[in-house]
Amino acid sequence: MNRVRIPWFRREMSAGRFALVMNLPTLICLGLVLAYPVGYAAWLSVHRVGLAQLRRGEFAFTGWENYGRVLEDPLFWIAIKNTLIFTVITVGSEIVLAVAIALLINQASIWTSRITRFLILLPYAIPPICNGLIWSFLYSFQFGFLNRILFSLGLISDPVNWAGNPDTALYAVTVPYIWRTLPFAIILVHAALQGIPRELYEQAAIDGANAWHRFTKITWPMLQQIIAIILILRTAFAFAVFEEILAITQGGPGDATWVAAWYSYKITFAPPNNFGMGSASAFILTLMIAAIALVYLRLVYRRVTL
């Protein structure tokens, strides 16, 4: 094992212990910043905490009652269903589009590639709530730019209420989210493409392999590890989507765009302000995300690294 000699230590330190010592200040800061909010939320989740209790300062211990009430709430399961649909659409679209766009960028010249990467990063720099507001104007039933374009192209004869129709609202929200988060996946895939040796493609071309064979036999296998990382990260973030929902639909129409994070928000901050139940729903959401991440690690990432 590699060892590191530090002047103020009498004995040599292993690389692992040295890394722990160097990261200890960061770990302590993260613990101080995260430990109290998480611990307090856990305490709230097992107590009855509402506006009446806050006024009296009396918080009755309820045990698992808040968790049971969340799991028995039909609206919670509607939110979970919408979240799963949202996650499958956004994550699947991001991976397909990221690979396709990264391949196009990789074929461009150096200067064109640099300019394209700069332009692609612009949506990622826009705050999520601002992104939602921009798209809410685009989706506007009367003044939306999207309806104007489609009408001028002859694709529609009447304005479409994209965000106000229960049949289209959830799918309408996926587009702004994909537009904002896609650059992250594109940059990662493009970086992975840059690491593939050109000699592999040259040898494949000499052997008579066409473009599809080069992609399936060289490019895709070399991209699977970064695809697995994108899959894990984007699923976790998509499962906790909130800003676009707040800016575009606010959960409506009806419960068409109620997602898990929006459910926790409404239970907590809408009357009667059940902070205990809201904290319980947030912890349930956290456990779901952790379970999905573990499934990915076992079924996807592990298979890629073998």
pLDDT for 113 beyond 90: no
Long-range contacts of 88-92 (CB under 8 A, 24+ apart): 89/171, 89/174, 90/174, 90/177, 90/178, 90/181, 90/234, 90/238, 90/241, 91/231, 91/234, 91/235, 91/238
Q: Tell me, what's the pLDDT at 260?
A: 93
Main-chain dihedrals φ then ψ at residue 49, nearest 5 degrees: -130, 110
Label residue 134 by pLDDT band (50, 70, 90). very high
Please report, as a single letter, which amino acid is at residue 215: F
Instruction: Please answer whether residues 205 and 214 qualify as being in contact, where contact means their C-beta atoms are separated by less than 8 angstroms.
Output: yes
Residue with tokens 């989706």: 139
Please report, as a single letter, which amino acid is at residue 81: K
Domain ranges of the chain: 1-34, 65-305
> CATH class for domain 65-305?
mainly alpha
Q: Tell me, what's the pLDDT at 11?
A: 58
Name the residue among 118, 119, 120, 122 with its Cα closest to residue 130: 122
**Total-model pTM:** 0.86
The structure tokens listed for 256 are 């068409």
Average pLDDT over residues 68-73: 94
Label residue 1 by pLDDT band (50, 70, 90). very low
Q: Tell me, what's the pLDDT at 301?
A: 57
Measured distance between the N- and C-terminal CA atoms of the chain, rounded to whole angstroms: 23
pLDDT in tens, 160-216: 899 999 999 999 999 999 999 999 899 999 989 988 888 888 888 888 888 888 898
